[in-house]
Amino acid sequence: MTTAKWVMPLIASLMIAAPAQAAPASITGNWKTDDGKSIIQFYQCGSSMCGKISKFLVPEPAGGARDTENPDRSKRSQRLLGLRIFWNLKADGSKFKGNGYSPEDGRNFNAQVWREGNRLKVKGCVLLFCRTATFTKA
């Protein structure tokens, strides 16, 4: 058997086979924000991951913190506690990619979330401007 008879099929099979990618590390659980003001709970929601404000670590104003910066005026009276601020986070390589919302400035952003050991990296981008925060396990 000549070398070409077994090398060519081997090369062809390697080119056709999809590269194996490990699923990103789990982000499920409670994470303290980098500013220390709140806990974000990441959880499974359908076929993706979501994140909501599950607890404040600073005192809320009387009547509870509200979404006062929301660009939709009809939503400005909704409570922040329990508000979903990450959604449609789907595994993409070593990260979860989806959408996020910042109640501090009322902006939606493209989100990337991934684990680095016992820390959670959260990157948010609006157009060309990005910011990365580091959350710690709560």
Give the pLDDT confidence score for residue 16 in this predicted structure.
44
pLDDT, tens only, 93-120 = 999 999 999 999 999 999 999 999 999 9
The CATH number for 22-137, chosen from 2.60.40.10, 1.20.1560.10, 2.40.128.520, 3.40.50.150, is: 2.40.128.520
Give the pLDDT confidence score for residue 21 in this predicted structure.
58
Give the pLDDT confidence score for residue 23 in this predicted structure.
85
Long-range pairs for 113-120: beta carbons < 8 A, 24 or more residues apart: 113/27, 113/42, 113/49, 113/51, 113/86, 113/89, 114/24, 114/25, 114/27, 115/24, 115/25, 115/26, 115/27, 120/27, 120/31, 120/42
Residue 15 clears pLDDT 80, i.e. is over it: no
pLDDT, tens only, 20-61 = 557 899 999 999 999 999 999 999 999 999 999 999 999 999
pLDDT, tens only, 52-100 = 999 999 999 999 999 999 999 999 999 999 999 999 999 999 999 999 9
pTM: predicted TM-score of the whole model, two decimal places: 0.83
